[in-house]
Structure 1
Amino acid sequence: MSQAKQTAQKVDYNGSDNLAMMSFAKNYNGSLYEWVKQGTTASTLILDFGAGNGEYANRFPANAVDTVEIDPELLPLIKQPVYTDLSQLSHQYDMVYTINVLEHIEYHQAIVNDLFNKIKPGGTIKVFVPARMEIFSRMDEHVGHYRRYDKRMVSELLKSSGFQVTDCRYYDFAGYFISLLYKWLGKDGRITKDSVIFYDRIIFPISRVFDQLTSGKIIGKNVLAEAIRPR
């Protein structure tokens, strides 16, 4: 049994309700998709690790992305080739992306090591994870997070697997303060359609302006990183 499969079995994800609500975050999801697809062409071999409900993979043309997902309830929602374990994939990819996944995995270094081996020399990994342990709240507990990250932690995680980090920055400046407020208010960990739509349409566009002004160096609700497997 592969280390990836052993790790996957430790994931106890019960945040499908929040995942469904996030489908209403059109600006947020669109922004992340633009980041994911940047630099890809029709011939790029792509893997989505932890595809969830297919929010990003399904935006690519049919059969353009392989996906890995372990939740049987989510598998029917993915419109791309889907696998339940990395060991089922026999070839390497030009680009692997993983969005809001590593925080659900207890032994995340082992998974990043496995992803390194699934990427061609010169290929790219794109990682997106929640940021800053000081805003760890009931929401994190509700969806099964082991941790939140900072830039240094993500960089060291990637470098320890052999990657060369080319970009690592915070994302969603305003989201940090909204999340801090959410924690202070003692919310139960769930989000609503109305709150997602309000944040996505009103707050998030402003947040992205601050991301650009600060170059992601100060703070944010997430960490976004890119790295290359050396040739």
Structure 2
Amino acid sequence: MSQAKQTAEKTEYNGSDNLAMMSHAVNYNGGLYKWVASDIDPGEAVLDFGAGNGEYANRFPLGSIDAAEIDPDLLPLIKQPVFTDISQLTKKYDLIYTINVLEHIEHHGEIVKELVTKLKPGGRIKVFVPARQEIFSNMDEHVGHYRRYDKQLVVKILEDAGLRVTNCQYYDFAGYFISLLYKWLGKDGRITKESVIFYDRVVFPVSRVFDKLTGGQIIGKNVIAEAVRP
């Protein structure tokens, strides 16, 4: 959902309109925040890498986490301490999470390796990215995606960065088929408030039931993964 920066690379992202629309996805956003925050102990250092409009970072108590973001239009929306270059970060983190960001970065493996240097030994990384290249559509083009992922690619990126993957699975079972239909219909890549609300309230809760029934091992619109720095 956001753009991100590493010291050697800037990535242009023009999907601010989609970010605004996705703010209406109450169940989707709430579920991802719950996933991110579920195992954070009091006092742990946390970084939201590619914080976008602050959808997730702003849910934490003020000043309790850091955020990294480079879009100047989005920076005023983030209520946490925010950095525009991760080379500015001097502390080590217990948790770094990144939601819908790596797909906007051409050299995604290099940025993950750099993030690992910001982790404490035993620190965790949580990654959420769009899944399955066969459903790459005008929407991906519109928001500046380089690619979509499968589980094997996410595991490879994390392991190549020296991390031990503890969980990797597909997420949003029904979303895969909705996205496939979206591509077949040749939609222009934009989404509406009404479509987001309908999907979030009606389809997404059912989709998550199928995620649980399949264990996230069959298909989904996204890949969700967790890894630890040894």
Q: TM-score range by the shorter chain?
A: over 0.9
Query: What percent identity do the matched residue pairs reach?
Result: 70
- 1:134-180: per-residue Cα shift (whole Å, max 9, x none)? 00000000000000000000000000000000000000000000000
**Equivalent position of 2:16 in the other structure:** 16
Secondary structure of 2:23's partner? helix
The answer to whether residue 167 in structure 2 is matched with residue 197 in structure 1 is no
Distance 1:55 1:87 in 2: 23
**Equivalent position of 1:206 in the other structure:** 206
**Equivalent position of 2:75 in the other structure:** 75
Distance 1:4 1:110 in 2: 8
**Equivalent position of 1:5 in the other structure:** 7
- Post-superposition offset of 1:28: 0.3
**Equivalent position of 1:113 in the other structure:** 113
- Post-superposition offset of 1:41: 2.3
Distance 2:42 2:78 in 1: 19
Distance 2:72 2:12 in 1: 12
Q: State the AA in 2 paired with 1:214.
A: T
Assess if the C-alpha contact under 8 Å between 1:42 and 1:64 holds in 2. no
Secondary structure of 1:126's partner? strand
Written as runs of structure 1 = structure 2, the 5 A alignment for 1:20-169 is 20-169=20-169
Distance 1:199 1:5 in 2: 37
Unaligned stretches of 5+ in structure 1?
A: none
Q: State the AA in 2 paired with 1:211.
A: D
Structure 1 ranges of 4+ moved more than 4 A: none
Secondary structure of 2:196's partner? helix
Distance 1:211 1:33 in 2: 17
May I ask how many residue pairs the two structures share in their alignment? 226
- Post-superposition offset of 1:44: 1.1
Assess if the C-alpha contact under 8 Å between 1:175 and 1:221 holds in 2. yes
Q: State the AA in 1 paired with 2:132.
A: R
Measured on the aligned residues, the alpha-carbon RMSD in Å equals 0.8
- Post-superposition offset of 1:217: 0.2
Distance 1:123 1:5 in 2: 22
**Equivalent position of 1:175 in the other structure:** 175
Distance 2:228 2:149 in 1: 20
Unaligned stretches of 5+ in structure 2?
A: none
Distance 1:123 1:45 in 2: 10
Distance 2:112 2:86 in 1: 11
- 1:75-101: per-residue Cα shift (whole Å, max 9, x none)? 000000000011000110000000000
Distance 1:90 1:14 in 2: 29
